[in-house]
Structure 1
Amino acid sequence: MGIGFCQFCIFVEILFVMFSKLANAIFQESIDTYHVADRVDQVFTNPYSGNSIEQLLFRKNWIDTVQWHYEDIIRDPQIDPTAALSLKRKIDASNQDRTDLVEYIDSYFLDKYKEVQILPDAAINTESPAWAIDRLSILALKIYHMQEEVDRTDASSDHRETCQKKLAILLEQRKDLSTAIDALLEDIAAGKKYMKVYKQMKMYNDDELNPVLRGQKGE
């Protein structure tokens, strides 16, 4: 016996409410795992295997977490110029990895919903699911480090109070973004919205499109 339309809607709603909870939980797991050693050069080990969404989410947040700390280090006014240049190269590579992971996550959703019949009045979203998930990953890092500031025993009460207010805003933002992501996935699954992904066209990494790199080609 099949399920009725209303029952199906309830099932879909429960399914996608679970996605943001899954993503937020994995992001927290990644951040907590990183901070055990708390070193940008530590060996990365993904606890999730295969081409699962869990594996992609963990890897995505790990990249974001390492880059967060790269950005802290490079702002040291006493950093050695040679070390700063090396770190800038690592940040560039990290940005490329981050963009690649966003595309992998979108590919996962494109495959997941490839059989969905798009409704005639379906609309396209301003961003793909993966780019919204990218923002959710960064929010997890902001929340983690803002909580650290709230908990600092060596900081003034004014500093902790200010950070507590900022933390409350970040938590509200995560709630709203999580709700929006779940709603977007639900609409895509129902054919009310459709995905259209534009692959990255970064020019500065391309030997043929960056005039500086092109000028050095063959030297």
Structure 2
Amino acid sequence: MSAQEYNKLFDEVIAKYHIIDKVDQPFENPFNKDTFEHLLYRKNWIDTVQWHYEDIIRLPDIDPVEAIVLKRKIDASNQDRTDMVEFIDSYFLNKFKDVKVQEGAKINSETPAWAIDRLSILALKIYHMNEEATRESASEEHRVKCQKKLDILLEQRVDLSTAIDDLLADFASGKKYMKVYKQMKMYNDEDTNPMLYAKK
């Protein structure tokens, strides 16, 4: 798959979510669980739900108790997001495991999956900026301003997609090699968050 195909899949996920447009709607992945598409679909769905969690929690009149419950859901979603990134990187590690690394090959500043993570979020920005650029209830000034931002986001998607394809080509040819570090987030772990282990 090319990055352009990732974008197409992400756009389909986001459109699917907005048919019902509720954070608690049931999730169904149409792809076989052993496929790369399954990982991408799940990843973007997590990002899409979290995008809307973040919208809800910013409501100025949100009930404080509901806000705490929602914050817990956002924390869990962030962990799911990180886990999916690591699953995607595992896919690429396996894909390129037999590539002969060229002498002088270098690592990249980020892994393919974290670049794809940015591409997934970019798809959400594009969808929602397009909504604002075409919203009939908004002023003309607002729509023009949002259209200019949308144009930049679309250009950014082209550039990021090209960079991802180039990076994967470099891995496939051995010009670069993958090295992955686990995120090791501490605040969700009862053994590393002092606020949690102090309560034990």
TM bucket (normalised to shorter chain) is over 0.9
Return the match for 1:53 from 36, 41, 44.
Answer: 36
In the alignment, what sits opposite 1:102?
A: 85
TM-score, length of structure 2 as denominator length: 0.99
Please list the CA deviations of residues 64-110 of structure 1 after superposition, one character each: whole Å capped at 9, or x if unmatched: 00000000000001000000000000000000000000000000000
Amino acid corresponding to residue 65 of structure 1 in structure 2:
T
- Please give the secondary structure, in 1, of the residue aligned with 2:198: helix
Of residues 93, 112, 120, the one that matches 1:129 is 112
Structure 1 segments of 4 or more deviating over 2 A? none
TM-score of the pair, normalised by structure 1:
0.90
3-state DSSP of counterpart to 1:84: helix
* Unpaired stretches in structure 2, ≥5 consecutive residues: none
Q: Deviations over 1:23-52 (max 9, x none)?
A: 001101100000000000000000111221
Partner SS, residue 114 of structure 2: helix
For 1:176-195, what aligned pairs fall within 5 Å after superposition?
176-195=159-178
Q: Aligned partners of 2:189 and 2:129: how far apart in 1? A: 37
Alignment match, 2:193? 210
Write the letter of the residue equivalent to 1:138.
I
Report Cα offsets for 1:142-194 as digits up to 9, x if no partner. Answer: 00000000110011000000000000000000000000000000000000000
Aligned to 1:123, the other structure's residue is in SS state coil
2:12 alignment partner, one of 26, 29, 32: 29
The answer to whether 1:198 aligns with 2:181 is yes
1:93 aligns with 2:76: yes
Q: Answer yes or no: is 1:42 the counterpart of 2:25.
A: yes
Q: How many residues get paired?
A: 200
Determine if the alignment matches structure 1 residue 114 to structure 2 residue 97.
yes
Percentage of matched positions with identical amino acids: 68
88, 105, 127: which one pairs with 1:144?
127
1:106-139: per-residue Cα shift (whole Å, max 9, x none)?
Answer: 0000000100000111011000000000000000
Inter-partner Cα distance in structure 1 for 2:76 and 2:136: 36
Larger Rg: 1
What secondary structure is seen at the aligned counterpart in 2 of 1:118? coil
CA RMSD after TM alignment: 0.6
What runs of 5+ residues in structure 1 fail to find an aligned partner? 1-17
Amino acid at match of 1:71: E
